[in-house]
């Protein structure tokens, strides 16, 4: 009998998978064979159909046509519980952990019937950690863990439920290079033990480094499966989008001596009185991109929210120089008034802070512009003005949509992000705060967003860029500041620093590639 753990035998075979939604065919006769004990990468543009396909494999959606075979047996999944019973687990890009629970409690939650919630469960977690190298203290609260450890907990969760086939959705999106290396070492070790991985990523160099096979999906159908040893990142990009791999590289300086944003002595404490931001001093000049590098959870989110007025700082000031050279003290202003003063804001989490997913595209164009054109004309809401400008954004920023009346939720992640970038660059802002502007988007959307930011910088826009993509930071920024435990601890020159040096500074190691801030 053939099983999914036999070397080289198919672990998963998807045949003729087709999934239709109103007005769109998300998957069109997709065929995919994943062999046991391999890392099989799945690449494609946002909207190409990857997410839908993985949701079908994990039982979150059902195909209209086609079949799924696991270890040679045809199976129809109606719920994720069915997929879990078949040995399939999924680690989502956005971790699904309860911060106020321990590692053990998070792993066991929902699976208490397997090994209880006490000593047997703890022993099983320790056994899995020993087998795979996913070592983490089962008694510590998740809120005390770094990003890499949280990811280990997510993988342990699916292993605890018996997964041998694991879907990893953008697993390196928030990891520094050293953590990526550790993850890949873990995956290689687990692969040797017969585990099978479906690895979804937009980072083509990383895909080629870890994958045994790569399948490219374009516009809902399979383009082909290639050997990473015989294909370049450029060729993969061309398969995905029909164009060359984009580069954020920009070296011609447009920095002026006019400081648009000046942050002085900014301090923010949490509810327990612990400093989340400690004496932050920062300036961003017209025509300059200042990059903020840091492992997630070191104060970058709080810095942006304090500048935007979403969190009230305990001390310090935030000043903005407008296009008329007038200085505005933002310190006591609301978020809306800060936006009116000339700030564009690309939020870190587009679903929570960037869009109303159930509302139309033109309605989302109004967000943040409730008191300004084109959303209003005099005292009244200008629906036609908002619609007309939404059409402009759709065309200028290549937002792929059936129309502007569809809800934002109908767009792929990349097209949602292009809509947001188009909105935030409208209205002639003097400062753009861009938090992870290309996270989770494909190379085509990435190229467009980078180009729009470069053009805005060349026209004199000041940009504060927060990103976990070190290549993006190094390529776009005029200067980089490293954030660690709520402090700006080092400056780096993008022209000379390497991703490895930057990653070391982000984790607190000392290198020769940075200067103390």
Residue 447 lies in a domain: no
Same domain, 275 and 402: no
Rounded Cα–Cα distance for residues 36 and 270 (Å): 47
pTM of the model: 0.69
- Outline where DSSP puts E strands in 86-151: 88-91
**Helical H segments across 42-79, by residue range:** 50-57
Residues 75 and 198 in one domain: yes
Q: How far apart are CA 296 and CA 484, in angstroms?
A: 9
The CATH number covering residue 227 comes to 3.40.50.300
> What's phi and psi for 3, nearest 5 deg?
-125, 165
Calpha distance 120→131 (Å, rounded) = 17
Residue 375 CA to its chain's centroid (Å): 29
Number of Cα atoms under 13 Å in the Cβ half of residue 348: 19
Spatial CA neighbour of 399 closest among 439, 437, 332, 449: 449
Between CA 499 and CA 501 the distance in angstroms is 6
One pLDDT digit (tens) per residue for the chain, 517 residues: 333 444 568 999 999 999 987 777 889 999 999 999 999 999 987 667 888 899 999 999 999 999 999 999 999 999 999 999 999 999 987 788 998 999 999 999 988 888 888 899 999 999 999 989 998 999 999 988 888 899 999 999 999 999 999 999 888 877 878 888 999 999 999 999 999 999 998 788 899 999 999 999 988 889 999 999 999 888 888 888 765 555 676 667 788 889 999 999 999 998 888 889 999 999 999 999 999 998 888 899 999 999 999 999 999 999 999 888 889 999 999 999 999 999 999 999 898 899 999 999 999 999 999 888 888 888 888 899 999 999 999 999 989 898 999 999 988 888 899 999 999 998 789 999 999 999 877 777 888 899 999 999 999 999 999 998 888 999 999 999 999 999 999 999 998 988 888 888 888 765 444 555 5
- Is there a single domain that holds both residue 228 and residue 265? no
Distance in angstroms (rounded) separating the CA atoms of residues 177 and 163: 27
Residues 105 and 165 in one domain: yes
Closest of 175, 229, 163 to residue 201, by C-alpha: 175
481 shares its domain with 422: no
14, 161: one domain: yes
Cβ(282)–Cβ(261) under 8 Å?
Answer: yes
Residues 100 and 207 in one domain: yes
Examine residue 374 and say whether the peptide bond preceding it is cis (omega within 30 degrees of 0): yes
Q: Is 510 exposed, middle or buried (0-12, 13-18, 19+ CB in 10 A)?
A: exposed
Q: Residue 509: phi, psi to the nearest 5?
A: -75, 155
Q: Does residue 487 form part of some domain?
A: yes
Residue 222 lies in a domain: yes
What are the φ and ψ backbone dihedral angles of 27, each rounded to 5 degrees? Answer: -125, 130
Number of H helices, E strands in the chain: 17, 23
Closest CA to 216 of 411, 70, 49: 49
Range of the domain at 21: 10-241
Residue 270: what are its φ and ψ, rounded to 5°?
-80, -175
Give the count of domains, the chain. Answer: 3
Q: What does the DSSP 8-state code read for residue 141?
A: B
State the Cα–Cα distance between residues 46 and 330, nearest whole angstrom: 37
Question: Could you tell me which of 78, 64, 85 has the C-alpha nearest to residue 22?
Answer: 64
Helix H or strand E segment including 267? strand 259-269
Instruction: Please tell me the predicted confidence (pLDDT) of residue 445.
Output: 82
Whether 57 maps to a domain, the answer reads yes
37 closest CA partner among 15, 14, 4: 4
Decide: 295 and 506 in contact? Cβ < 8 Å.
Answer: yes
Residue 325 has a pLDDT of 85
Indicate if 165 and 187 belong to the same structural domain: yes
Q: Is residue 269 situated within a structural domain?
A: yes
Dihedral-angle region of residue 36 (phi above 0 means left; psi in -120 to 50 means alpha; beta otherwise): beta
Closest CA to 496 of 516, 484, 512, 472: 512
Shared-domain flag, residues 318 and 461: yes
Task: Identify whether 136 is part of a domain.
Answer: yes
Are 308 and 285 contained in the same domain?
yes
**DSSP letters along 269-310, please?**
E-TTS-EEEEEEEEEEETT-EEEEE--TTSSHHHHHHHHHTS
Residues 39, 166: Cα–Cα separation, whole Å: 10
Q: In the chain, what is the straight-line distance between the N-terminal and C-terminal CA atoms, in Å? A: 63
Residues in the chain: 517
What values do phi and psi take at 8, rounded to 5? 85, -10
- Residue after which a domain boundary falls, among 208, 241, 274: 241
| Domain final residue pick, 225, 241, 257 | 241
Of 458, 451, 491, residue with least CA distance to 475: 451
The dihedrals phi and psi of 53, each to the nearest 5 degrees, come to -60, -45
Cα–Cα dist 45/47, whole Å = 6
Q: Is residue 113 included in any domain, yes or no? A: yes
> Angle at the Cα of 246 (from 240 to 250), degrees rounded to 5?
170
- C-alpha distances (whole Å) from 58 to each of 38, 82, 85, 140 are 18, 8, 11, 29
Backbone angles phi, psi at 293, to 5 degrees: -105, 140
Residue 115, pLDDT score: 80
Q: Is residue 448 part of a domain?
A: no
Pairing verdict, β 196-200 and 24-35? unpaired
257 and 237 in one domain? no
Q: Computed from CA positions of residues 367, 371, 373, 378, in that sequence, does the dihedral angle turn out positive or negative?
A: positive
* 361/321 same-domain check: no
């Amino acid at each position: 009998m053939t099983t999914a753990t036999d070397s080289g035998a198919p672990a998963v075979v998807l045949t003729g998978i087709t999934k239709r939604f109103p007005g769109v065919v998300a998957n069109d006769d997709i065929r995919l064979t994943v062999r046991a004990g391999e890392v099989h990468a799945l690449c494609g543009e946002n909207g190409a159909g990857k997410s839908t396909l993985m949701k079908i494999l994990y039982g979150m959606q059902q195909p209209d046509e086609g079949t799924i075979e696991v270890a040679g047996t045809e199976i129809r999944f109606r719920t994720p519980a069915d997929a879990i019973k078949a040995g399939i687990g999924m680690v989502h890009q956005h971790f699904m952990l309860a911060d106020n629970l321990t590692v053990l409690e998070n792993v066991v939650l929902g699976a208490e019937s397997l090994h209880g919630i006490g000593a047997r469960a703890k022993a099983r977690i320790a056994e899995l950690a020993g087998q795979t190298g996913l070592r983490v203290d089962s008694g510590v609260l998740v809120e005390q863990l770094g990003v890499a450890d949280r990811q280990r907990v997510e993988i342990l969760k699916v292993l605890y439920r018996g997964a041998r086939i694991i879907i990893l959705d953008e697993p390196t999106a928030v990891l520094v290079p050293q953590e990526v290396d550790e993850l890949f070492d873990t995956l290689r070790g687990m692969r040797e033990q017969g585990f099978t991985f479906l690895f979804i990523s937009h980072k083509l160099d990383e895909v080629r480094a870890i994958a045994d096979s790569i399948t490219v999906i374009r516009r809902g159908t399979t383009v082909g499966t290639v050997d990473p040893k015989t294909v370049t990142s450029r060729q993969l990009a061309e398969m995905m989008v029909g164009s060359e791999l984009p580069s954020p590289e920009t070296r011609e300086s447009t920095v002026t001596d006019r400081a648009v944003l000046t942050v002085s002595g900014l301090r923010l404490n949490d509810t327990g009185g612990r400093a989340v931001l400690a004496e932050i001093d920062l300036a961003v000049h017209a025509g300059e991109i200042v990059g903020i590098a840091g492992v997630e959870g070191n104060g970058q989110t709080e810095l942006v929210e304090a500048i935007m007025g979403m969190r009230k700082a305990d001390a310090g000031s935030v000043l903005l120089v407008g296009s008329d050279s007038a200085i505005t003290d933002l310190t006591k202003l609301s978020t809306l008034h800060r936006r009116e003063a000339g700030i564009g804001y690309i939020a870190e989490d587009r679903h929570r802070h960037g869009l109303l997913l159930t509302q139309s595209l033109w309605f989302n164009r109004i967000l943040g512009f409730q008191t300004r054109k084109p959303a209003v004309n005099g005292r009244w809401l200008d629906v036609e003005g908002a619609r007309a400008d939404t059409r402009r954004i759709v065309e200028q920023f290549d937002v792929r949509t059936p129309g502007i009346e569809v809800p934002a939720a109908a767009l792929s992640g990349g097209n949602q992000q292009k809509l947001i970038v188009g909105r935030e660059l409208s209205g002639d802002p003097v400062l753009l705060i861009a938090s992870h502007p290309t996270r989770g988007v494909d190379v085509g959307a990435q190229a467009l967003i980078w180009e729009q930011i470069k053009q805005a910088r060349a026209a004199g826009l000041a940009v504060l860029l927060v990103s976990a993509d070190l290549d993006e930071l190094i390529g776009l920024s005029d200067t980089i500041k490293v954030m660690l435990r709520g402090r700006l601890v080092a400056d780096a020159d993008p022209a000379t620093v390497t991703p490895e040096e930057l990653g070391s500074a982000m984790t607190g190691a000392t290198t020769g590639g940075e200067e103390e801030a």
